[in-house]
């Protein structure tokens, strides 16, 4: 806060100091030059040098401090925005392009930083300078002031037109940047798909079209700049010409005007017109900042956050799960789960099977409150899910997905995710438990080995084992598994299956099964189809029924034989 008040003081001081220079020049020329007073002239030049040094120091301090205040504010906004993103539901990310969110966090905030660093403080300073300069001019000679400012209405009108045109253009530029970021991010991430399907040329053509729109928006803004600034210079030149014409007549007619006052007014015109031109530019910075701030605050105002209103932190988490008449839809109307009810007792292993789109993944997503249910109730250990503190709840649910995501960082960082409570010893204990210790110790640097982006330097099986260790370091009471053996070789599959068996021992396990052969020992198998429970029972019970599960099993058995 002290820095802000100091910035206000420096802004006022700068506005007061800038108009003094022409006054010193006018006094030197009109007072001391005609008298041939060399000493007086030296004194005025000394005052002018001191004034310029002080002005330079104040300008430096003002520029640095305005930048410091601006970047401090921006840092807080950027942190707040990222914290907000961390709390949003996955539903929000499902419908929002990642590139657009990157634009909000990087480009839009950077634009906003220009507003705080260059826009607001500089704009206020420019306005104060205009007021002080006008005061000096009218105090010196009101007639010359009116002549000098006679073209001001024309400049204000042209500035207004420029401002309106550039406002629309900058909005187009921000949209073009957002589209460009979204396209590049998505297609770089999915580059393997582009190359697999030989779509490089088609994607290049799409990129060129988006890039053309980006270029078109920028060129339009450049066009307005190239028109406005020459027009502003011309208007200033007309004002100076009229001043020189009127002043020269006054000198010739012996109207009490000296050459010093004419020179000082020429300096004042330049000083006066420069802030107005700069105000137009500052206003454009503000316009861009307004557009960016609207985008940022729209994101901050998004209410699609996880309602973490529960405060229950269990000391004896057992892991009994109950779904009671649960309805769920990703888009509020097309339900993917319809009146689902089942229970999982403490320590049981329950498998979910069904065709693609049956609702299996939705069940496990709801358990960790990645999404909120529309109707019904989910309980763990007899308590509604919403009563739990979200952090405490998720610590007790270890989730291992088939599509493993690893960050471009060390193995240790990917397992601990920056949690200081997870030591190297704890990581290696969990790694040994799931059979990952040997391959980690063989890597250069061991836990400090960098896996690169998305774990590119590891095999599919190794990435899966890392995800097991990541889940096990918290020693969760509930294990949720999107079966991870469908895309690995038989040797790695055996290793991963052994790790899964270890993970499930003594814990409640909820497994999405792709290969029915891997869940024959489950305590309960729930068969889903189109969001509804079709059958419930053990492997043998469901086979004897000869229903939905039996048909699925027969189909997979035939595929294996073939």
Judged against a pLDDT cut of 60, whether residue 349 lies above it is answered with: yes
CATH topology of domain 2-300: ABC transporter transmembrane region fold (1.20.1560)
- Of all residues in the chain, the percent with pLDDT exceeding 70 is 90
- Of all residues in the chain, the percent with pLDDT exceeding 90 is 1
* pLDDT (tens digit per residue) in 45-67: 898 899 899 989 988 888 888 87
Res 484: pLDDT: 58
Q: Are 368 and 397 in contact (CB under 8 A)?
A: yes
Mapped onto helix, strand or coil, the DSSP state of residue 480 is: strand
* pLDDT (tens digit per residue) in 301-312: 776 666 667 787
Lowest mean pLDDT among 53-57, 191-195, 430-434: 191-195
Q: Which tokens go with 287?
A: 């316009």
Res 560: pLDDT: 47
| Helix (H) / strand (E) containing 279 | helix 259-300
Res 53: pLDDT: 93
Judged against a pLDDT cut of 50, whether residue 551 lies above it is answered with: yes
Q: How far apart are CA 326 and CA 344, in angstroms?
A: 15
User: The tokens 């509020």 sit on which residue?
Assistant: 332
Lowest mean pLDDT among 305-309, 343-347, 440-444: 305-309
Judged against a pLDDT cut of 50, whether residue 545 lies above it is answered with: yes
* pLDDT (tens digit per residue) in 237-253: 888 888 888 888 877 67
Q: Rounded to an integer, what is the distance from CA 370 to the centroid of its chain?
A: 20
Name the more confident of 197 and 445: 445
Q: How far apart are CA 458 and CA 415, in angstroms?
A: 14
pTM of the model: 0.64
Integer Rg of the chain from CA: 36
Q: In the predicted model, what is the mean pLDDT of residues 277-289? A: 70
* pLDDT (tens digit per residue) in 21-45: 888 888 888 787 777 778 888 888 8
- Return mean pLDDT, the chain: 79
DSSP 223-247: HHHHHHHHHHHHHHHHHHHHHHHHH
Judged against a pLDDT cut of 90, whether residue 463 lies above it is answered with: no
DSSP 14-55: HHHHTTHHHHHHHHIIIIITTTT-HHHHHHHHHHHHHHHHHH
Q: List own/partner pairs for 551-556 with CB under 8 A and 24 or more apart.
A: 552/353, 552/354, 552/516, 552/527, 553/516, 556/515, 556/516, 556/517
Judged against a pLDDT cut of 70, whether residue 1 lies above it is answered with: no
Res 561: pLDDT: 41
Q: How far apart are CA 425 and CA 447, in angstroms?
A: 11
Q: How far apart are CA 447 and CA 459, in angstroms?
A: 16
Q: Rounded to an integer, what is the distance from CA 441 to the centroid of its chain?
A: 37
Judged against a pLDDT cut of 50, whether residue 562 lies above it is answered with: no
Judged against a pLDDT cut of 70, whether residue 131 lies above it is answered with: yes
Q: Are 321 and 344 in contact (CB under 8 A)?
A: yes
């Amino acid at each position: 806060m002290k820095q802000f008040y100091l910035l206000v003081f420096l802004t006022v001081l700068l506005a007061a100091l800038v108009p003094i220079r022409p006054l010193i020049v006018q006094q030197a020329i009109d007072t001391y030059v005609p008298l041939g007073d060399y000493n007086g002239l030296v004194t005025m030049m000394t005052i002018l040098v001191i004034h310029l040094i002080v002005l330079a120091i104040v300008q430096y301090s003002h520029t640095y401090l305005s930048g410091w205040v601006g970047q401090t504010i921006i840092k807080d906004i950027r942190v707040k925005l990222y914290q907000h993103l961390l709390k949003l539901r996955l539903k929000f990310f499902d419908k929002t392009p990642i590139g657009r969110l990157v634009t909000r966090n990087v480009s839009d905030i950077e634009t906003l930083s220009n507003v705080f660093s260059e826009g607001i403080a500089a704009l206020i300073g420019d306005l104060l300078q205009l007021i002080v300069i006008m005061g000096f001019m009218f105090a010196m000679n009101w007639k010359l002031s009116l002549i000098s400012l006679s073209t001001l209405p024309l400049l204000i009108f042209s500035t207004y037109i420029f401002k309106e045109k550039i406002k629309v253009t900058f909005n187009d530029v921000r949209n073009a940047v957002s589209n460009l970021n979204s396209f590049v991010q998505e297609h770089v991430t999915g580059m393997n798909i582009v190359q697999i399907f030989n779509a490089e040329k088609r994607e290049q053509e799409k990129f060129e079209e988006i890039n053309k729109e980006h270029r078109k928006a920028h060129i339009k803004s450049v066009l307005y700049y190239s028109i406005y600034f020459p027009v502003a210079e011309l208007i200033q030149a007309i004002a100076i010409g009229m001043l020189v014409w009127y002043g020269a007549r006054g000198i010739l007619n012996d109207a009490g005007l000296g050459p010093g006052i004419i020179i000082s007014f020429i300096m004042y015109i330049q000083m006066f017109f420069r802030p107005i031109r700069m105000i137009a530019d500052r206003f454009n910075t503000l316009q861009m900042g307004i557009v960016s701030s609207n985008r940022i605050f729209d994101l901050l105002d998004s209410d699609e956050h996880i309602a973490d209103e529960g405060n229950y932190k269990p000391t004896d988490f057992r892991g009994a799960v109950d779904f009671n008449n649960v309805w769920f839809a990703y888009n509020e109307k097309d339900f993917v789960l319809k009146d689902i009810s089942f229970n999982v007792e403490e320590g049981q292993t329950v498998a979910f099977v069904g065709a693609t789109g049956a609702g299996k993944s939705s069940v496990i997503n709801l358990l960790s409150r990645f999404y909120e249910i529309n109707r019904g109730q989910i309980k763990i250990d007899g308590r509604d899910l919403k009563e739990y503190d979200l952090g405490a709840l998720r610590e007790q649910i270890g989730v291992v997905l088939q599509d493993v995501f690893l960050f471009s960082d060390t193995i240790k960082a990917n397992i601990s995710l920056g949690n200081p409570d997870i030591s190297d010893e704890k990581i290696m204990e969990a790694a040994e438990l799931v059979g990952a210790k040997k391959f980690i110790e063989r890597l250069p640097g061991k836990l400090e080995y960098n896996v690169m982006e998305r774990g590119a330097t590891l095999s599919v099986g190794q990435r899966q084992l890392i995800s097991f260790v990541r889940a096990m370091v918290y020693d969760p009471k509930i294990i949720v598994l999107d079966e991870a053996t469908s895309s690995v070789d038989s040797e790695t599959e055996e290793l991963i299956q052994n790790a899964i068996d270890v993970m499930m021992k003594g814990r409640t396990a909820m497994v999405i099964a792709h290969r029915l052969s891997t869940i024959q020992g489950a305590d309960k198998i729930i068969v889903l189809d189109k969001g509804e429970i079709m059958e419930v029972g053990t492997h043998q019970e469901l086979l004897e029924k000869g229903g939905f599960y039996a048909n699925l099993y027969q189909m997979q058995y035939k595929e294996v034989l073939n």
